[in-house]
Amino acid sequence: MINEPRASLSKRYYNVKCAKCPRLANFLKVVRTRHPGYACRPVPSFGTLGSRLLIVGLAPGLHGANATGRPFTGDHAGILLYKTLYKFGLSSASESRPGDDLCLKDCAVTNAVKCLPPENKPVAAEVNTCRTFLINELEAVPSKGVILVLGKVAHDSVVRSLDLSPGSLRFKHAGEYALPNGRTLVSSYHCSRYNTQTGRLTTEMFERVFTRVKEILR
Name the residue type at position 197.
Answer: Q
Q: Is the pLDDT of residue 143 over 60?
A: yes
Share of the chain above pLDDT 70, in %: 93
Read off the pLDDT band of 1 (50, 70, 90): very low
Specify the CATH number for the domain of residue 151. 3.40.470.10
Mean pLDDT to the nearest integer, 71-93: 97
27 inside domain = yes
User: Mean pLDDT in the chain?
Assistant: 92
**Residue 18: its pLDDT value, please?**
83
Please, which residues have CB within 8 angstroms of residue 7's CB and are 6 or more apart in sequence? none
Read off the pLDDT band of 8 (50, 70, 90): very low
**Residue 14: its pLDDT value, please?**
52
Q: Is the pLDDT of residue 7 over 90?
A: no
- CA-to-CA distance for 71 and 54, rounded, in angstroms? 12
Whole-number CA gyration radius for the chain? 16
Q: Is the pLDDT of residue 214 over 60?
A: yes
Share of the chain above pLDDT 90, in %: 89
2 inside domain = no
Mean pLDDT to the nearest integer, 148-161: 98
1 inside domain = no
Q: Is the pLDDT of residue 12 over 70?
A: no
**Residue 134: its pLDDT value, please?**
96
4 inside domain = no
Determine the structural domain holding residue 121 and report its residue range: 15-217
9 inside domain = no
Q: What is the pLDDT of residues 177-190, one digit of tens each?
A: 999 899 999 999 99
Q: Is the pLDDT of residue 2 over 50?
A: no
Residue 143, Ramachandran bin (φ over 0: left; ψ between -120 and 50: alpha; else beta): beta
In sequence order, what are the beta bridge partners of 90? none
**Residue 17: its pLDDT value, please?**
72
102 inside domain = yes
Mean pLDDT to the nearest integer, 21-42: 96
Q: What is the DSSP string of 45-102?
A: PEE-TT-SEEEEES---TTTHHHHSSTT-SSTHHHHHHHHHHHTTSBS-S---TT---
10 inside domain = no
8 inside domain = no
Q: Residue 149: phi, psi to the nearest 5?
A: -105, 140
Structural domain total, the chain: 1
Q: Is the pLDDT of residue 15 over 90?
A: no
**Residue 19: its pLDDT value, please?**
87
